Amino acid sequence: MAMRRVTGAAIRAYAHSSSSGYFARQFHASSGESKKIVGVFYKANEYASKNPNFLGCVENALGIRDWLESQGHQYIVTDDKEGPDCELEKHIPDLHVLISTPFHPAYVTAERIKKAKNLQLLLTAGIGSDHIDLQAAAAAGLTVAEVTGSNVVSVAEDELMRILILMRNFVPGYNQVVNGEWNVAGIAYRAYDLEGKTIGTVGAGRIGRLLLQRLKPFGCNLLYHDRLQMEPELEKEIGAKYVENLNEMLPKCDVVVVNTPLTEKTRGMFNREMIGKMKKGVMIVNNARGAIMERQAVVEAVESGHIGGYSGDVWDPQPAPKDHPWRYMPNQAMTPHISGTTIDAQLRYAAGTKDMLEKYFKGEDFPVQNYIVKDGELAPQYR
């Protein structure tokens, strides 16, 4: 797996500045000592007991508490992650492992990494580790890993649902029923079939490919833009066409789906200029990361009708504040960050997290595809 290397000079500089050097962290990573593990998850409250497989919440803590404590490890779980006086901050100085999820992310800044003198491993229970300052983690000699593939089906299915919700103008119809109204015209004037429409995904990794496969039976014109082109046999099987130049693909699309990771290159990628290249009335689905979109540019384009509908479950920051403008813009079908935390996905990412912790305690390597940062190198998708 080709990964980006942080220079030795950067590593040495960081080690000197943080007084918890790169090599020291690596040397102790597989010791047999008791470890302090902190998990940051969303709180489920009364819902925690409604399903025995609801593992991704504070109360059920990935289902690994008994196992960890039986081996002599300390396991602290909280949802309190923001501000200098939060519960997470109290444990930063002496934790060894921090587990978080994309759905309620613990933002691991360079400042927090410098304070975390014992920190060795950052695990994402799910997919997407952009809540971590990866350059700082690499320079500090930390390992960052996630449960690759654990919720790709969940997210791809959710994206397909959102495409249909936007195309059929579903939300206003639902609201009419709830509000005791009946106005067919108020829904039908902007409801469309999916068949024959051009759907383009920006990013065609595991999730993007699954989405394209699920769209094929609908008889759409399928396009994709990615840094890598699929093998010809797979392209033929899916029925999708590669477009190397994103600026050429966007104007052709009736629906644009964002499936690219959040990196410094993609942050704010969909700004006024990029949105302006799309056809008027375009539908956008974004289950990738909220910060890939320029917040106000989306609001303005939805209000003007240039974007015909916007749906997604990702915000910047998360949880989204009550005054976030995407909550109140027209023609939106937004939800909290839920697409990758179905019960099925929770079972997968809980099992994957436990597997990596077992390997960590034994000093064994993780599956190579799970590494986001290893030995000072970043995975290609986070370059």
**Which residues are catalytic, by number?**
151, 289, 318, 337
Pull the structure tokens for residue 45: 């409250």
Q: Any binding-site annotation on 375?
A: no
Tokens 């492992």 sit on residue: 97
Query: What distance in Å separates the CA atoms of residue 363 and residue 261, rounded to the nearest whole number?
Result: 29
100 is in an annotated binding site: no
β-sheet with 74-78: strand ranges across: 4-5, 377-378, 371-374, 143-146, 121-124, 97-100, 36-40, 74-78
Tokens of 346: 């929770």
Q: Give the span between the Cα atoms of 154 and 156, in whole angstroms.
A: 6
CA distance to 241, 301, 328, per residue, from 332 (Å)? 28, 12, 8
> What's the CA angle centered on 315, arms 310 and 319, to 5 degrees?
135
127 carries a ligand binding annotation? yes
Amino acid at 16: H
* Residue 175 assigned to a binding site: no
Contact 161, 322 (CB under 8 A): no
337 assigned to a ligand binding site = yes
Q: Annotated binding residue at 265?
A: yes
Question: Which DSSP category does 108 fall into?
Answer: B
264 is in an annotated binding site: yes
279 in a known ligand binding site: no
Was 316 annotated as part of a binding site? no
CA dist 242 and 190 (Å) reads 29
Q: How far apart are CA 273 and CA 183, in angstroms?
A: 36
CA pair distance 91, 98, nearest whole angstrom: 10
8 Å CB contact between 154 and 283: no
Query: What is the token pair recorded at 232?
Result: 């010809």
Answer yes or no: is 151 a known binding residue.
yes
Buried/exposed code over 260-289 (b: 16+ C-beta within 10 A; e: otherwise): bbbbeebebbbeeebbeebeeebbbbbbbb
Measured at the alpha carbon of residue 317, what is the angle toward residues 38 and 10, in degrees to the nearest 5?
A: 65
Task: Check the annotation: does 203 bind a ligand.
Answer: no
Per the CB < 8 A criterion, the answer to whether 194 and 167 are in contact is yes
88 is in an annotated binding site: no
358 is in an annotated binding site: no
> Does 154 belong to an annotated binding site?
no
Annotated binding site: 127, 151, 206-207, 226, 261-265, 287, 313, 337-340
Annotated binding site for NAD(+): 206-207, 226, 261-265, 287, 313, 337-340
Annotated binding site for substrate: 127, 151
